[in-house]
């Protein structure tokens, strides 16, 4: 920065209409142009990883489901894979396909939610309501299969808790047909051929392929910059190794890559198309058989004997989600670590927002689909000295009571 020039600092958040959850982005402007950016979390801290060290492995499954309300199944999926890798648990084929169906329904409802937010940011409130209505229909399908609309509680170590019967299969088939024939063509037409959408999104929040690699972004943000990578295809887990789907990039849709908010939005919309194909194929190939693997020794006893470390990763709606467990012959994990997609994506805003106009900031921030409840952690940073230190949950409570 030029020292003798006057700059204006504009805070966005922690509470702002463009943000789904509380975090703070401070932009430094020279006139209308953004010249610097500061991203801060810490407004939604719950200390889940610390609490997990005082719980058993089964309890942590329920905690994993509450890391994020939008992608709760992805978290239990990653956690279950982590534990299953540690104990060498085999998963029945039917359970693998049921897991894929629920995971893709969750991806659809998550993508519809952020697409609705993007429509709202462009001034299309009618389409915001329409997309949220479609999300409700997707949530109805999740409730049909799992019995719950948010924390589905269908995942378990070794399989799933609930089966898909003939009624559920028929209703899911009708849902897929309805979305493919009547709904998605309308959404694609709006976002691909509407000049207002194009003028609002094109050129906002550009993230080049080189910067995407440098910041290690994941998911639709990574693919929106033209990098063809998806955990489901490149490191397949459960049924994904045998399912046929395409990894979406802007080049496959438009023939070119800009890496802006428009590209990221289109990637999510066309990923909904692929998710519907995965659900359709999974229903067709759903084999008969059990939904939970056999265990020679009761699971609680097996888990108490766990020793070693394991990693499980899945392609959550926002990108690669990683769970890590360190076990040492105790009832629960010595260490449980969660690396969420937003942790990888959010700091790329420093690059994406620079050079943008102030009015583009809400669109660019929303385009990475930030999930704050996923990524708030226990590390505290002194903004004056830069010193980092940690506090236990009890110490944080004491600090709160002393204020």
Share of the chain above pLDDT 70, in %: 89
Question: Across the strands, what pairs with 95?
Answer: none
Fold of 48-345: Cytochrome-c3 Hydrogenase; chain B (1.10.645)
Within 13 Å of residue 16, how many CA atoms lie on the same side as its CB? 20
Integer Cα distance of 302 and 3 in angstroms: 63
182 secondary structure, DSSP code: I
Give the model's pLDDT for residue 69: 85
- Stronger pLDDT, 281 or 19, i.e. the higher one: 281
Q: What is the mean pLDDT of the chain?
A: 87
Give the model's pLDDT for residue 328: 85
Rounded mean pLDDT of 38-57? 80
Give the model's pLDDT for residue 400: 37
**Lowest mean pLDDT across 215-224, 250-259, 302-311, 313-322:** 302-311
Nearest to 310 by CA among 344, 345, 334, 341: 334
Q: Is the pLDDT of residue 397 over 60?
A: no
Summarised one tens digit per residue, pLDDT across range 290-344 is 999 876 456 777 777 778 899 999 999 999 999 999 988 778 888 999 999 988 8
pLDDT tier at 88, thresholds 50, 70, 90: confident
* Tokens (6 digits) for 190: 């709006």
Q: Is the pLDDT of residue 164 over 80?
A: yes
Task: Assign 280 to helix, strand or coil.
Answer: helix
**Lowest mean pLDDT across 24-28, 63-67, 337-341:** 24-28
Give the model's pLDDT for residue 208: 95
Q: What is the DSSP string of 203-260?
A: TSS---HHHHHHTT--HHHHHHTT----HHHHS--GGGGG-------HHHHHSS---S
Q: Where are the domains of the chain?
A: 48-345
Cβ proximity of 18 and 365 under 8 Å: yes
- Stronger pLDDT, 18 or 266, i.e. the higher one: 266
């Amino acid at each position: 920065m030029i020292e003798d020039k006057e700059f204006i600092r504009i805070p966005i958040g922690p509470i702002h209409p463009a943000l789904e959850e509380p975090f703070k982005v401070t932009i430094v402007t020279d006139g209308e142009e953004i010249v610097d950016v500061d991203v801060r979390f810490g407004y939604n801290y719950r200390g889940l990883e610390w609490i997990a060290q005082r719980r058993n492995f089964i309890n942590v499954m329920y905690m994993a489901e509450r890391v994020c309300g939008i992608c709760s199944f992805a978290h239990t999926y990653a956690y279950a894979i982590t534990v299953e890798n540690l104990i060498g648990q085999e998963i029945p084929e039917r359970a693998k396909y049921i897991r894929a169906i629920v995971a893709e329904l969750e991806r659809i409802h998550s993508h519809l939610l952020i697409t609705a937010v993007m429509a709202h940011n462009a001034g299309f409130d009618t389409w915001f309501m329409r997309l949220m209505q479609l999300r409700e229909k997707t949530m109805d399908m999740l409730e049909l299969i799992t019995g719950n609309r948010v924390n589905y509680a269908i995942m378990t170590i070794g399989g799933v808790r609930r089966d898909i019967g003939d009624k559920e299969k028929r209703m899911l088939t009708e849902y897929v047909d309805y979305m493919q024939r009547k709904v998605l063509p309308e959404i694609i037409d709006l976002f691909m051929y509407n000049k207002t959408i194009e003028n609002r999104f094109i050129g906002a929040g550009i993230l080049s392929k080189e910067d995407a690699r440098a910041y290690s972004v994941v998911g639709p943000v990574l693919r929106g910059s033209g990098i063809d990578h998806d955990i489901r295809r490149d490191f397949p887990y459960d049924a994904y190794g045998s399912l046929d789907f395409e990894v979406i990039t802007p080049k496959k849709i438009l023939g070119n890559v800009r890496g802006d908010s428009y590209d990221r939005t289109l990637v999510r919309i066309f990923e909904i198309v692929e998710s519907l194909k995965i659900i359709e194929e999974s229903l067709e190939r759903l084999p008969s058989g059990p939904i939970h693997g056999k265990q020679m020794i009761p699971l609680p006893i097996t888990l108490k004997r766990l020793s070693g470390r394991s990693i499980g990763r899945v392609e959550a709606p926002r990108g690669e989600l990683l769970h890590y467990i360190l076990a040492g012959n105790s009832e629960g994990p010595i260490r449980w670590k969660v690396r969420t997609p937003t942790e990888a994506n959010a700091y790329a805003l420093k690059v994406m927002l620079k050079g943008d106009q102030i009015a583009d900031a809400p669109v660019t921030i929303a385009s990475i689909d930030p999930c704050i409840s996923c990524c708030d952690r226990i590390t505290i940073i002194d903004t004056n000295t830069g010193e980092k230190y940690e506090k236990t949950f009890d110490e944080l409570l004491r600090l709160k009571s002393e204020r």
